[in-house]
Structure 1
Amino acid sequence: MANIRENKRDGKLISYRFTVCLGRDANNRQIRRYTTWDIPEGLTPAKARKAAERAADTWERETREEYQKEKELGQAYTLPPEKRRDSFTTFVNDVWFPLQICNGNDKQTTVTFYKNMKKLIVEYFDGKVLQEISPLHIQKFLAYLSREYKTRQGKALSPKTIRHYYNVLGLIFAYAEKQGVIAANPMQKVDAPKKDKKPVDALTPEQAKQFFSLLLDSPLDFRCMLQLLVTSGIRRGECIGLKWKDIDERAGTITIERSVVYTPESGIIISTPKTADSIRTIPIMQSTLKLLQQLKQQTQAKYPDTILKEVFVFHGEKDLFLPRDPNSVTCKVKRFMRRNGLPDLSPHDLRHSCATLLLSQGADIKSVQEILGHADASTTLNFYVKADLRQMQAATEKYAAAFNL
């Protein structure tokens, strides 16, 4: 007889999960089938239980017949999607995640991101049959994320994070459809959550002047790091990943070809930059280059017997040939900003500051795109191009002057 288990959410009975054991495979593991039976409206708990038992009997009989047919025909038999009853949890954990995410093609940070995202998805849809998840179920999940769910810190999810969950579900169901596991992709009937387009956090020109004046009193290595972030627009991990060989003093350029990230599972990882377009050679200001030359001389004086070529510019405390922890850099930057009465900006916000300050000084979009390592100019336009009142006034004055208006 099929096992019947109640599925509850917030103490309320919402459905029943049926499980049947059909035997054992060659490795002596149980062969199981699952399905979820939603309770019809208007039934009392007692009547719902009786109806569930009748439905479970019917489902078990049909499932055993299908399995017997599958055994008799062997590999020649393929269960059609409308007849399949795959556990959503099992499909995500044992099929989609290992085959599509942990396939060696993605960076560890990407794998960690999807691993964390799928936890909540699996938790919400646990007990559901993959083939029975409808667009309505997914819409309810997105509404739950938006209105009810809270993080461990008691905070609501941002629209951007909810959009990430939508995208991950899209990948899961697209893969299931491609493999013939489901007949139709329910995500095609679910609208994407709206993005919350927040203004970019960045230093204003006035704040930037204050920022640069405050750097004069900072330790040389920290001053170099902050000036690099805010004048070159490189990412935190790219900055920490710089080696002395990446700096061409004669040409006044730096080459970005590695990045440093941290994951709880693997610790500090040295890998390639975010995208192929992020591997780039960009100019640096003469003032920044002079600071780096001072830091190089200081490092060489401290370690006279070391050839600095393979040494990290911003090395760890105990090893010249290992980078420092990216998270410690963020903490240090944010402390500096708060201590000096500046906006509470992160290293990535200093990258934003570089872009907005370049554009405000008349830099063209293509140059800023190449400096930042964006794949296309639309990213630069969408994030950073925002005219202020002074720019709009200057534009109208130029228009008027051109036509003597």
Structure 2
Amino acid sequence: MPTITKRGDTYRIRAYCGYDAKGKQVTRSTTWKPAPGMTPKQIEKELQRQAVLFQEQCSGQGWGGAVKFETFCKGWFEEYAEPNLRPRSVARLHQMEERTYAALGHIRLDKLTPRHIQSFINDLGKPGISQRESHARSKVDLVALLGEREILQKDLATRAGLSRSTVSSACRGESVSMPSAKKLAQALGMDYAALFETAAAKVTLSPKTIRNYHGFVSSVLGYAVRMGMIQHNPAQNVTLPPTERTEKECYTLEEAQTFLESLDNAPTKYRAFFVLAIYGGFRRGELLGLEWPDLDFENCMVRIRRTSQYLKERGTFTDTTKTVQSQRTLKLPAVVFDVLRKHRAAQAQERLMLGDQWHDTQRLFVNAFGEPMHPNTPYHWLQGFCQDTGQRFLGVHQFRHLNASLLISSGADVRTVSASLGHSQVTTTLNIYAHTFAEAQAKAGEAVAAALDFGGQRKARGSA
């Protein structure tokens, strides 16, 4: 409520209008003078009315929001995002800054309307909006080329100023960005066109990506509302493109059984990794974050307490789990721990062979020197393994979907499945696996019909 101060024959009305970008409270004031002949009671009544009107005027003008969106957004990263969000989440949000600032960064918070944001969302869906660089794929066997020149991949990465992961991808014949391919060609002293072929980049953004941009803008404006900078969040009134729900492709039970059997000839660490993925339904980062003390061999229990992640700026690092509910303990079959015992023995042998060169991190899944395994390594190994064995390749995360499908098909209720997968809410499980639950329910209905024999078919057969 505004404060009123009498100053001679006038009154000063001071209103509080939120906070500026630095968190300082903003105040505005105005002067009101009674008309000649007004009685004290009339003055008091009109003074209160003027105070309310001035407060509404200040609120409507959004005095605290007289700061540009880009300026406030950068403060939001420092004040809210970086202290509260996971590093990979912050990195993904930073990737949206350039395009968002180009469209909205110059507009003041108090002047930003739903139409501004709607126009931005609409533009994101237009062809040609994607600024993604074209990609390049090697036309020659880079591994053989490096072998002839006696150059290690890690040394090439240093020369080119690229990550070892990028160089490894290029050597496997996978697509890398055109700037990265040019750096590789330059580091090798060869012509780009002789080494790489260029593939055009996508020119449109997916509905999911567009929704992510909207979520970014809405989060920033929601914080501005909570800080008293603006009165409401204009992003709430925006129409978003519909998302197409596609049924998740998943391995069949027969394919899973074949895959498990084919792992008998695989290296023990990859056999252990994918056996855990199938039987536990763990996320990739959760598996890579496992340490030997997290395993209870006596009771066949696995404890999830951390994840292992990768960022170009930080390399491989340890992070918290995705949600609090993701920290969980699961009991797995004894056959899983038989595989883990073999993996532990094999890793101990590797440690003895390397001696002082081994980095003891206590992790289950490590590289050749005992350091935490790069998150992309299981994916690339699986891709090559499926190609060599003639099996369908669906990626690492599909084993998590396989585990969920098997749980649901076995009759597990949604809360049990949600807890096993480490979802923060049961609704998340229902949304992801709605089709699988529907199939399980249909099978249950068929079982009930068979048990009741509705229509007297069993009785009719008996009388016949």
Q: TM-score, normalised by structure 1?
A: 0.73
Q: What amino acid does structure 1 have at the position aligned with 2:73?
A: V
Q: 2:366 corresponds to which residue?
A: 315
* Amino acid across the alignment from 1:347: V
Q: Are 2:396 and 1:334 equivalent residues in the alignment?
A: no
Retained in 1: the 8 A contact 2:294–2:304? yes
Question: Shift of the alpha carbon at 1:151?
Answer: 4.7
Q: Give 1:288 shift.
A: 1.4
How far apart, in 1, do the equivalents of 2:378 and 2:119 lie?
40
Does residue 91 of structure 2 align to residue 112 of structure 1?
Answer: yes
Change (3 A) 1:128 1:268: same
Aligned counterpart, 1:143: 122
Q: How does 1:140-289 map to 2 (within 5 A)?
A: 140-148=119-127, 149-152=129-132, 153-289=201-337
Separation of aligned partners in 1, 2:102 and 2:259: 46
Partners of 1:163 and 1:244 in 2: CA distance: 40
Please give the alpha-carbon distance, in whole angstroms, between the structure 2 residues aligned to 1:333 and 1:339. 10
Q: Read off the aligned partner of 2:386 and give its amino acid letter.
A: M
- 331-340 or 76-85, larger mean C-alpha shift: 76-85
Three-state SS of the structure 1 residue aligned to 2:125 is helix
Q: Cα RMSD between the aligned structures? A: 2.9
**Cα pair 1:92 1:122 within 8 Å, conserved:** no
Query: In the alignment, what sits opposite 2:451?
Result: 401
Cα offset for 1:88? 2.0
Return 5+ residue gaps in structure 1 as ranges: 1-69
Q: Stretches of 4+ moved more than 6 A in 1?
A: 305-309, 388-391
The one-character-per-residue Cα deviations of 1:49-71 (angstroms, maximum 9, x if unpaired) are: xxxxxxxxxxxxxxxxxxxxx9x
Which letter maps to 1:348?
A: H
Residue aligning to 1:89: 70
Determine if contact 1:135/1:189 at 8 Å carries over to the other structure.
Answer: yes
1: CA distance, partners of 2:447 / 2:26: 77
* CA 144–222 in structure 1, closer or farther in 2 if over 3 Å, else same: same
Residues 245 and 310 in structure 1, CA contact (< 8 A), matched pair in contact too:
no
d(CA) in 1 for partners of 2:108 and 2:226?
18
- Per the TM alignment, residue 116 of structure 1 is displaced from its structure 2 partner at its CA by 1.6
Q: What percent of counterpart residues are identical?
A: 29
Aligned residues: 329
Instruction: Provide the C-alpha distance between the structure 2 equivalents of 1:133 and 1:221, rounded to a whole number of angstroms.
Output: 54
Distance 2:453 2:359 in 1: 59
Residue matched to 2:145 = none
Report the AA paired with residue 261 of structure 1: Q
Measured after TM superposition, the shift of residue 338 of structure 1 is: 4.1
Matches within 5 A, 1:8-47: none
- Unaligned 5+ segments in structure 2 are 1-19, 30-57, 133-200, 456-464
1:346 equivalent in structure 2: 395
**Alignment CA distance shift 1:222-1:192 (3 Å):** same
Q: Deviations over 1:206-265 (max 9, x none)?
A: 221222222122111111111111111011011111111111111011111111000112
CA offset at residue 309 of structure 1?
9.4
Write the distance in 2 (CA, Å) between the matches of 1:374 and 1:326.
Answer: 21
Q: What letter matches 2:379 in structure 1?
A: T
Question: Does structure 2 retain, via aligned residues, the 8 Å contact 1:231–1:284?
Answer: yes
Match of 2:348 among 295, 300, 323: 300
Matched position secondary structure for 1:269 = strand
Stretch moving more, 299-308 or 160-169: 299-308
Cα offset for 1:393? 5.1
> Quick one: structure 1 residues 294 and 128, their matched pair in 2 at CA, closer, same or farther if it must change by over 3 Å?
same
Aligned equivalents of 2:213 and 2:384: distance in 1?
Answer: 32
Counterpart pick for 1:130 among 85, 109, 125: 109
* Aligned mates of 2:87, 2:204 — CA distance in 1: 27
Amino acid at match of 1:399: A
Once the two structures are superposed, residues 11-38 of structure 1 have per-residue CA deviations (whole angstroms, 9 ceiling, x without a partner) of: xxxxxxxxxxxxxxxxxxxxxxxxxxxx
Q: Tell me, what secondary structure is at the counterpart of 1:182?
A: coil
CA spacing shift, 1:358–1:151, aligned 2, 3 Å: farther
1:233 and 1:340, CA in 2 relative to 1: closer, same or farther beyond 3 A?
same
Counterpart-to-counterpart distance in 2, 1:184 and 1:390: 44
- Taking a change above 3 Å as real, the CA distance of residues 250 and 127 of structure 1, as seen in their structure-2 partners, is same
Asked if 1 retains the 8 angstrom alpha-carbon contact of 2:308 and 2:319, the reply is yes
Q: What displacement does 1:292 show?
A: 0.5
Q: Normalised by the size of structure 2, how large is the TM-score?
A: 0.64
Q: C-alpha deviations, 1:76-134, integer Å up to 9, x for none?
A: 745954456422222212x22211212x2322112212212233211222433332222
Contact 2:290/2:364 (CA < 8 Å) preserved in 1?
yes
Give the direction of change, closer, same or farther, for the CA distance of 1:399–1:243 in structure 2 (3 Å limit): same
> Within 2, Cα distance between the matches of 1:257 and 1:242?
8
Partners in 2 of 1:392 and 1:246 — Cα distance?
39
What is the CA deviation profile of residues 145-172 of structure 1, one whole-angstrom value per residue up to 9, with x for unaligned ones? 2233225132532222222111111111
